[in-house]
Amino acid sequence: MLTPAHIDFHETEEGYRLLFESNPHPMWIYDRDTLAFLAVNDAAVHDYGYTRGEFLAMTIKDIRPPEDVPSLLEKVSRVTPGMNSASGRQLKRGGALIDVEIVSHTLRFGGRRAQLVLSMDVTDRKIPRPGENQFVVRQSRDSQAAFKDDVLTDAETRVAKSVARGFSNKQIAAELGLSVRTIENHISHILAKKAFTNRVELARYVFQRDASG
């Protein structure tokens, strides 16, 4: 849940806020200068085992194995404006180590330079490779490929995937090289085709299809 202290989270539309709070995947916002957690959603609290208060007293280093922290710091220092993606390892409260795919993007939050992160547990489908870097920035194309709906056009499918990751219309437009108006039209068509009333329902549908696929 976003707190009143962070009401300037206005760079995104209301649906974007709802996606953060209702997203079935763990999401958080951290301060890019101090690495402190600034906000976490309910899924992060549930999946990682920390209370919201405990999260907000921690930094993102605290959910990484100690040996992965130097690489984490290097990658954070090289974050570029807009979208970023990565793979890595994270620790849950009880010490369980999981492999994750991360999608994130930069924003201003509470007047701070921040990063919004969506974390997907891919432990069960990760294939170990000798010498694999545990935190490599790259486009997470494999995790996007599973979702498919024959009712949607290819363009609408790409837009739906981006909506599910919590991105605003402006950010989707920049990622896909389209105008914001075109993205708005695509989303309107998707909602009409699938009889959804809002973006949250669309995001949940994408995640459900991805999981079942």
Pair (202, 162) in one structural domain: yes
Pair (135, 169) in one structural domain: no
Bridge partners, residue 86, by sequence: 102, 137
Integer-rounded Cα radius of gyration of the chain: 17
Pair (130, 182) in one structural domain: no
Residue 102: strand, helix, or coil = strand
Residue 106: strand, helix, or coil = strand
pLDDT in tens, 173-193: 888 888 999 999 999 999 999
Pair (128, 150) in one structural domain: no
pLDDT in tens, 92-102: 999 999 999 88
Amino acid letter for position 58: M
Pair (26, 60) in one structural domain: yes
Pair (116, 83) in one structural domain: yes
Termini Cα distance of the chain: 30
DSSP string, 25-40: S-EEEEETTT-BEEEE
pLDDT in tens, 14-44: 555 667 877 788 999 999 999 999 999 999 9
Residue recorded with tokens 């405990």: 54
CATH of the domain at 206: 1.10.10.10
How far is it, in rounded angstroms, from Cα 28 to Cα 50? 13
Amino acid letter for position 127: I
Choose one of 79, 113, 139: the last residue of a domain. 139
Q: What angle do CA 59, 64, 31 make, to 5 degrees?
A: 25
Domain that holds residue 178: 146-212
CATH of the domain at 10: 3.30.450.20
pTM over 0.75: no
Q: How far is CA 27 from CA 54, 153, 182, in A?
A: 15, 28, 27
pLDDT in tens, 122-172: 887 654 444 444 433 333 444 445 678 889 999 999 999 888 877 778 878
